[in-house]
């Protein structure tokens, strides 16, 4: 593990001050985070940890660099005798910058190239879709604008896409199985596993009503109603109420949350695929990583992974269709 901090005064190696570090990401976010606890003791044998907001931070887990970003918060506590810094990669700028655009008959990849050029972002691999769309955006984040284009493309191509940064380069890649799939197995690199099934947020019937509160139509999942009982939502009729009802049924079915604690492996990050073999919980097959947390503490490196059977993407659909 290695940690370097750089600002106008130069670069400082803070590796020997690190007591704990956590590198994390989620399929619902284009930004990865790094949180580091630095020892802060009046010891003449240790260098002083000087870290300021906006400093550049580079982090290596082993031989490969894993993170390239900036300090967004610094917390110092007398009782803990540590200084905790929280950093984000450049994805945070996609979330925190809004834009106003009118795109006509353009592609998602062209939108990404235009926005990256305007905001000085370097580009890596950008997935080509060939799908064209028109939409107006006002006051929406750069990430949601980009993600909207790729969400519309996904509906046409059937592919799933992931917007993220590879160190300092903005990338958009198809979510697909890689050349190698990591095997996580009980008695080997799997430390613990839990599976939670729930229908707490279930929706299995949607009624659409008009302005006079008269029923227009009903969409439902008969199998779920028979098995679990009626869980109903009511929405007002609109141009897209049929699609909205369909989305409510699809997005609010029975859920299964799979959480693994395992021996650390930097290849296990949100958007990738892993294979799991665990007989007690019945986990057996290939899964997609929805979120990952990598922790280095006391000389031990572990992962916490949240898995999904389905290959999902962060679907966004903001802005308005041109009149």
Please provide the DSSP assignment of 212-257 as one string.
T--EEEEEE-HHHHHHH---EEEEE--TTHHHHHHHHHHHTS-EEE
Say which DSSP state 186 is in.
B
Using pLDDT thresholds of 50, 70 and 90, give the confidence band for residue 310. confident
**Two structure tokens written together for 274:** 């892993």
Ranking 77-81, 91-95, 141-145, 216-220 by mean pLDDT, the lowest is: 77-81
Looking at the fold, whether 103 and 17 belong to one and the same domain comes out as: no
User: Taking a C-beta distance cutoff of 8 angstroms, is the pair 147, 94 a contact?
Assistant: no
* Final residue before a domain boundary, out of 34, 68, 89: 89
**pLDDT category, 197, cuts 50, 70, 90?**
confident
231: tokens are: 């869980």
Is residue 112 located within the same domain as residue 192? no
Kindly report the pTM of this predicted structure: 0.86
- Residue 269, domain extent: 182-198+255-308
CATH assignment at residue 63: 2.30.300.10
What is the spatial distance between Cα 156 and Cα 71, in angstroms, rounded to a whole number? 39
Cα-Cα-Cα-Cα dihedral sign, residues 164, 169, 173, 175: negative
Residues 228 and 296 in one domain: no
Number of domains in the chain: 4
Could you tell me the pLDDT band of residue 322, with boundaries at 50, 70 and 90? confident
Residues 280 and 194 in one domain: yes
- Choosing from 89, 111, 131, the residue where a domain stops is 89
Question: CA nearest 269: which of 164, 185, 191, 197?
Answer: 164
Section 259-263 average pLDDT: 96
pLDDT at 42 over 90: no
Same structural domain, 192 and 279: yes
Q: Is the pLDDT of residue 121 over 80?
A: yes
Query: Are 247 and 269 within one domain?
Result: no
Q: Are 303 and 23 in contact (CB under 8 A)?
A: no
* Whether residue 43 is found in the same domain as residue 81: yes
Query: The domain that contains 123 carries what CATH number?
Result: 3.55.50.10
Average pLDDT score, the chain? 92
pLDDT band at 41 (very low <50, low <70, confident <90, very high): low
Residue 315 lies in a domain: no
Burial of 42 (0-12, 13-18, 19+ CB in 10 A): exposed
Instruction: Decide: 115 and 99 in contact? Cβ < 8 Å.
Output: yes
Radius of gyration, alpha carbons of the chain: 23
The values of phi and psi at residue 84, to 5°, are -105, 125
Query: What's the Cα-to-Cα distance from 130 to each of 157, 175, 179, rounded to whole Å?
Result: 9, 17, 25
**pLDDT bracket for residue 44 (50, 70, 90):** low
Structure tokens given for 250: 């699809």
Tell me, yes or no, whether 323 lies in a domain.
no
Classify burial at 322, counting beta carbons within 10 Å of its beta carbon; exposed 0-12, middle 13-18, buried 19 or more: exposed
Distance of CA 209 to the CA centre of its chain: 36
Pairing status of strand 18-26 against strand 283-297: antiparallel
Residues 64, 12 share a domain: yes
């Amino acid at each position: 593990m290695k940690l370097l901090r750089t600002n106008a005064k130069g670069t400082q190696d803070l590796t020997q001050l690190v007591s704990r570090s956590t590198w994390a990401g989620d399929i619902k976010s284009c930004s990865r985070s790094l949180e580091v606890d630095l020892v802060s003791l009046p010891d003449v044998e240790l260098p002083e940890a000087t870290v300021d907001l906006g400093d550049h931070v580079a982090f290596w887990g082993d031989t490969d660099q894993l993170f390239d970003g900036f300090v967004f918060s610094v917390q110092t506590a007398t009782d803990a005798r540590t200084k905790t810094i929280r950093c984000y990669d450049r994805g945070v700028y996609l979330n925190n910058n809004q834009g106003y655009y009118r795109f006509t008959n353009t592609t998602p990849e062209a939108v990404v190239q235009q926005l990256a050029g305007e905001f000085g972002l370097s580009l890596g691999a950008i997935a080509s879709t060939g799908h064209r769309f028109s939409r107006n955006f006002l006051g929406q984040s750069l990430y949601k604008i980009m993600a909207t284009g790729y969400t519309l493309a996904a509906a046409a191509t059937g592919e799933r896409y992931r917007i993220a940064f590879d160190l300092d380069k903005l990338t958009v890649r198809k979510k697909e199985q890689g050349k190698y799939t990591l095997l996580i197995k009980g008695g080997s690199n799997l430390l613990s596993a839990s599976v939670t099934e729930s229908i707490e947020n279930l929706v299995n019937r949607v009624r659409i009503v008009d302005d006079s509160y008269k029923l227009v139509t009903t969409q439902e999942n008969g199998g779920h109603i028979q098995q679990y009982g009626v869980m109903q939502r009511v929405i007002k009729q609109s141009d897209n109420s049929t699609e909205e009802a369909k989305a409510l049924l699809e997005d609010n079915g029975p859920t299964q949350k799979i959480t693994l604690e395992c021996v650390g492996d930097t290849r296990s990050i949100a958007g990738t695929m892993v294979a799991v073999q665990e007989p007690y919980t019945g986990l057996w097959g290939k899964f997609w990583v929805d979120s990952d947390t990598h922790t280095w503490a006391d000389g031990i490196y572990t992962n916490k992974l949240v898995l999904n059977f389905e290959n999902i993407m962060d679907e966004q659909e903001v802005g308005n269709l041109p009149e």
